[in-house]
């Protein structure tokens, strides 16, 4: 009788690609594989000390693979800050190997906040306030590296609590770089706008946009996600925004099982509010003093891009999943977006419904804000021609054509002379953007995504840190927030 | 002496008082942009300036102030076929005659041709082409009578070049240039010189109707590397309106800083 030989088993998924990540326990740098498994994409990695980890990266493998097929060359910044010595992500700042310039810079001006949100992705120590000189140094360094920027986001902490907050706004919008930074956004919980009429009026006068954390329209959700019920305050803030006509970006953090049933309602809310220019949905990342411990099993609480697209379609009915496309300036798993165009009858229609998708993606490449340039013009002209000449036109075609014509008459007419800035405002008023921005945590951190990151923290020493690199690896060494921190604490376990 | 001419070598009686001393000139669309720049130079050169305006009362007030106390400021909607005749009559009544007409008023908007309906085509042609023709017809009567006159039509470099630009606007300017050439033949024998200036992109002109990337391309191609200033157009128009111009007739002079030449 022949001996029974042990039979070999297949692995439980098909290897897709190799990358590097970190151990969720010790943060050491380790190898990772992206694997196709059960129609999904998962990251599998193994730490020599802490064992194997697996986390969901995309709930739809087909979408994931398709999303990788469109890519554009990144744009070089005018200057880098750090040389390549150890390789990604150990040389951040940006290093010369970073593949994208800074589209969305974030400048943290304090780490003081009057909330302790369980979903917070930073580590507020309640002691740092950026001195004015450090602020100007950081802004100067940013402009030196980018020349012009579509936006700058002031963050914290709660930036509106900084005693020199309005001086900072003035420096950005009316200081020596006036006109170089097109929009100043302020990441805020909204309490000062809601509760202090004087502050709200000064905020409006400052010219800044409120980037308002706004997670829910229902009572009972804020206590879990933000530690205290904030619904009345948030709605009061919205009223103030409406009254004073404060330009606003609505920023819901989405946590699976907490408020993912509201994503459609939140989009509808933002679309209906004239002051809201864009809605930025941020799936929960398990990083920071709050986020770290929000779920006992973070790998079981992932809200990935395709899943969110499907939720939006299911909950709105009109905003289809296929209207969302990766923003080519970053990695497709980090940012997707759709732009909505307001028709003359007040309805919003996703641009991808009536423009060529390739042109659309080209027009959106390497930028965070829609503007009237050559690629947008080409896209609109081709779209007009296609819609006009089509033998079978959809029910909305004539409405779309009339609305585009109305938009052009509003923007480029000798009867209504507008400056380039005014044209940008009209364009913004005629459109809204819905972004989904997925930050990474120690579970799904992927250096492939980091390398093309365009959301960068601005440090006062001149460095620009890819957002997820900073949050997961560098923040705790930042002596502004952690004066006792030892520099150079990053290690490569298997390298 | 042939009407409309000075004899070379003779003393120019207007030299001290200005190129256009005492000349009565009507400019359409004078409340802003090129029109305001033209009015300013004509007034500086001693002309008595009348100008039309339609919507921009503040701009009209500024131009009037720049042109001095004799300036005649006429609000008119030149799309109305009856308006040009009334405007010319008003200038003749106020100034006792008319020596030169500058057809400057025009309208443009960057809408693709296929989206334009008949009413929009008609509206633009009424202002950009038919109003200059009606004004010229009305102005020719006193000019022919006095055997002296100048008509300057402000056209655009898109009128005779293959450039991106609103199709109906380009067509109106092409028509204006054909009108200029043929009218020069018909009116020349009566001492009336008819010319056109094909303007490039000027600050304060129709520049704001041109998307920024097209403006950037213009600047790249422009030999002088900048947009024109309205008063620079005014200098050329002033010369064309003056008695110094004796042999430029039916010409379309491109003034674009060396962009398309």
Which residues of chain A, if any, have pLDDT below 50? Answer: 366, 392, 491, 493-495
Nearest-neighbour CA in chain A from B261: distance (Å): 24
Task: Give the pLDDT confidence score for residue A212 in this predicted structure.
Answer: 98
Domains and their CATH numbers in chain B: 24-255 (3.40.50.720)
Residue with tokens 């380009």: B170
Tens-place pLDDT, residues B47-82 = 999 999 999 999 999 999 999 999 999 999 999 999
Quote the CA–CA distance of A227 and A253 in Å, as a whole number.
Answer: 14
Distance between CA atoms of A29 and A299, rounded to whole angstroms? Answer: 18
Surface of B (39-58) touching A: CB under 8 A: 55
pLDDT value for A455: 95
Using omega within 30 degrees of 0 as the cis cutoff, is the peptide bond preceding A89 cis? Answer: yes
Q: Is B110 on the interface with A (CB under 8 A)?
A: yes
Beta bridge partner(s), residue B253: B197
* β-bridge pairing A152-155 and A209-213: unpaired
Q: What is the distance in angstroms between the Cα of B30 and the nearest Cα belonging to chain A? A: 14
| Closest of B30, B26, B5, B18 to residue B244, by C-alpha | B5
pLDDT band of residue B105 (cuts 50, 70, 90) is very high
Count of CB atoms within 10 A of residue A247's CB?
20
Interatomic CA distance for residues B154 and B172, integer angstroms: 11
A359-368, B233-242, B250-259: which has the minimum mean pLDDT?
A: A359-368
Q: What is the pLDDT of residue A317?
A: 96
A and B: number of Cβ contacts within 8 A: 55
The pLDDT tens digits of the residues spanning B156-170 come to: 999 988 888 899 999
| B119 part of contact set with chain A, CB < 8 Å | no
* Minimal Cβ distance to B109: which of A401, A404, A414: A414
B109 contacts on A by Cβ (under 8 Å): 408-409, 412-415
Q: Concatenated DSSP letters for A448-467? A: HHHHT--EEEEPTTS-EEEH
The token duo for A241 is 């925004």
High-pLDDT (> 70) share of chain B, % = 94
Give ipTM to 2 decimals: 0.75
Token couple for B66: 């720049």
The pLDDT of residue B4: 38
Tell me whether residue B169 is one of the annotated catalytic residues: yes
Give the residue from A270, A346, A354 showing the smallest Cα distance to A312: A270
Residue pLDDT, tens place only, B4-48: 333 343 444 444 579 999 999 999 999 999 999 999 999 999 999
What whole-number distance in Å separates Cα of residue A440 and Cα of residue A469? Answer: 9
pTM equals: 0.82
B211 and A381 within 8 Å at the Cβ level: the answer is: no
Residues of A with Cβ-Cβ distance to B115 under 8 angstroms: 384, 388, 401, 404-405
Question: How confident is the model over B87-93, as a mean pLDDT?
Answer: 98
Nearest CA in chain A to B210: A412
Three-state SS letters, chain B = CCCCCCCCCCCCCCCCCCCCCCCEEEECCCCCHHHHHHHHHHHHCCCEEEEEECCCHHHHHHHHHHHCCCCEEEECCCCCCCHHHHHHHHHHHHHCCCCEEEECCCCCECCCHHHCCHHHHHHHHHHHHHHHHHHHHHHHHHHHHHCCEEEEEEEEHHHCCCCCCCHHHHHHHHHHHHHHHHHHHHHHHHCEEEEEEEECCECCCHHHHCCHHHHHHHHHHCCCCCCECHHHHHHHHHHHHCCCCCCCCCCEEEECCCCCC
Full 3-state SS string of A363-389: HHCCCCCCCCCHHHHHHHHHHHHHHHH
User: Does A413 contact B108 at a Cβ distance shorter than 8 Å?
Assistant: yes
In the prediction, which pLDDT does A314 show? 98
**Per-residue pLDDT, B9:** 39
Contact A64, A52 (CB under 8 A): no
- A244 in reach of chain B (CB within 8 A): no
pLDDT given at position A6: 86
Check: CB of residue A260 under 8 Å from CB of residue A215: no
Per-residue pLDDT averaged across B124-144, rounded?
Answer: 98
A384 touches B at CB < 8 Å? yes
Tell me whether A374 touches chain B (CB under 8 Å). yes
Between the alpha carbon of residue A416 and those of residues A404, B20, B35, B55, the distances in Å are 17, 33, 16, 11
CA distances from A477 to A285, A406, A495 (A): 20, 53, 21
Residues A452 and A331: their CA atoms lie apart, in Å, by 6
- At A351 the three-state DSSP class reads helix
d(CA A469, CA A476): 11
Interchain CB contact of B107 with A (< 8 Å): yes
Contact B112 A420 (CB under 8 A): no
pLDDT digits (tens, 9 = 90+) for A143-163: 999 999 989 999 999 999 999
Structure tokens at A451: 């390398």
């Amino acid at each position: 009788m022949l001996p029974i030989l042990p039979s070999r088993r297949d692995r439980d998924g098909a290897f897709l690609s190799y990358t590097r990540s970190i151990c969720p326990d010790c943060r050491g740098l380790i190898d990772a594989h992206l694997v196709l498994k059960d129609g999904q994409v998962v990251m599998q990695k193994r730490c020599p000390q802490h064992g194997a980890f697996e986390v969901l990266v995309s709930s739809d493998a087909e979408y994931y693979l398709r999303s990788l097929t469109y890519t554009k060359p990144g744009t070089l910044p005018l200057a880098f800050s750090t040389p390549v010595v150890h390789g990604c992500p150990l040389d951040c700042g940006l290093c010369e190997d970073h593949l994208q310039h800074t589209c969305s810079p974030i400048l943290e001006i304090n780490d003081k906040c009057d909330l302790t949100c369980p979903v917070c992705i930073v580590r507020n120590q309640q002691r740092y306030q950026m001195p004015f000189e450090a602020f100007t140094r950081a802004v100067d360094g940013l402009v030196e590296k980018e020349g012009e920027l579509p936006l700058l986001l002031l963050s914290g902490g709660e930036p509106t609590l900084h005693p020199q907050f309005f001086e900072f706004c003035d420096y950005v919008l009316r200081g020596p770089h006036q006109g170089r930074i097109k929009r100043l956004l302020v990441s805020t919980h909204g309490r000062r706008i809601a509760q202090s009429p004087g502050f709200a009026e000064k905020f409006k006068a400052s010219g800044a946009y409120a980037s308002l954390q706004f997670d829910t329209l229902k009572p009972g959700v804020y206590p879990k996600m933000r530690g205290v019920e904030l619904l009345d305050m948030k709605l009061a803030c919205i009223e103030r925004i409406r009254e004073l006509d404060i330009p606003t970006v609505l920023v819901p953090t989405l946590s699976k099982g907490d408020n993912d049933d509201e994503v459609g309602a939140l989009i509808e809310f933002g679309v209906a509010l004239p002051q809201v220019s864009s809605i930025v949905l941020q799936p929960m990342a398990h990083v920071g003093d709050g986020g770290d411990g929000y779920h006992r099993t973070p790998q079981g609480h992932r809200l990935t891009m395709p899943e969110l697209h499907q939720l939006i379609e299911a909950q709105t009915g009109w905003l289809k999943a296929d209207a969302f496309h990766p923003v080519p300036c970053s990695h497709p798993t980090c940012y997707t977006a759709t732009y909505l165009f307001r028709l003359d009858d007040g309805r919003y229609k996703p641009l991808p419904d009536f423009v060529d998708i390739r042109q659309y993606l080209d027009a959106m490449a390497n930028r965070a804000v829609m503007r009237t340039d050559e690629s947008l013009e080409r896209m609109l002209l081709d779209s007009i021609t296609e819609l006009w000449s089509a033998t079978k036109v959809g029910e909305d075609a004539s409405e779309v054509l009339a609305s585009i014509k109305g938009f052009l008459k509003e923007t480029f007419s000798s009867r209504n002379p507008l400056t380039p800035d005014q044209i940008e405002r009209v364009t913004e008023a005629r459109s809204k953007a819905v972004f989904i921005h997925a930050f990474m945590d120690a579970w799904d951190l992927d250096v492939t995504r980091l390398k093309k990151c365009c959301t960068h923290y601005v440090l006062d020493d001149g460095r620009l840190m890819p957002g997820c690199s900073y949050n997961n690896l560098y923040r705790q060494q930042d002596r502004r927030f952690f004066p006792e921190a030892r520099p150079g604490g990053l290690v490569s376990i298997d390298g | 002496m042939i009407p409309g001419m000075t004899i070379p070598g003779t003393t120019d009686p207007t030299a001290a008082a200005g190129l256009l001393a005492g000349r009565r000139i009507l400019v359409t669309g004078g409340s802003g942009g090129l029109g305001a720049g033209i009015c300013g130079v004509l007034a500086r050169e001693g002309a008595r300036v009348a100008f039309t305006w339609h919507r921009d009362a503040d701009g009209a007030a500024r131009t009037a102030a720049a042109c001095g106390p004799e300036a005649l400021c006429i609000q008119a909607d030149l799309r109305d076929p009856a308006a040009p005749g009334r405007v010319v009559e008003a200038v003749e009544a106020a100034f006792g005659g008319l020596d030169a007409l500058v057809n400057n008023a025009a309208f443009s908007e960057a809408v693709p041709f296929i989206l334009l309906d008949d009413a929009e085509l008609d509206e633009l042609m009424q202002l950009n082409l038919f109003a200059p023709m009606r004004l010229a017809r009305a102005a020719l009567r006193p000019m022919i009578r006095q055997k002296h006159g100048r008509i300057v039509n402000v056209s655009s470099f898109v009128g005779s070049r293959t450039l991106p630009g609103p199709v109906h606007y380009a067509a109106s300017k092409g028509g204006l240039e054909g009108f200029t050439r043929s009218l020069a033949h018909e009116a020349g024998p009566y001492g009336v010189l008819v010319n056109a200036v094909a303007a490039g992109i000027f600050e304060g002109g129709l520049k704001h109707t041109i998307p920024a990337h097209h403006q950037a391309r213009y600047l790249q191609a422009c030999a002088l590397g900048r947009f024109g200033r309205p008063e620079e157009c005014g200098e050329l128009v002033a010369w064309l309106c003056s008695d110094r111009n004796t042999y430029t007739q039916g010409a379309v002079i491109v003034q674009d800083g060396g962009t398309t030449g």
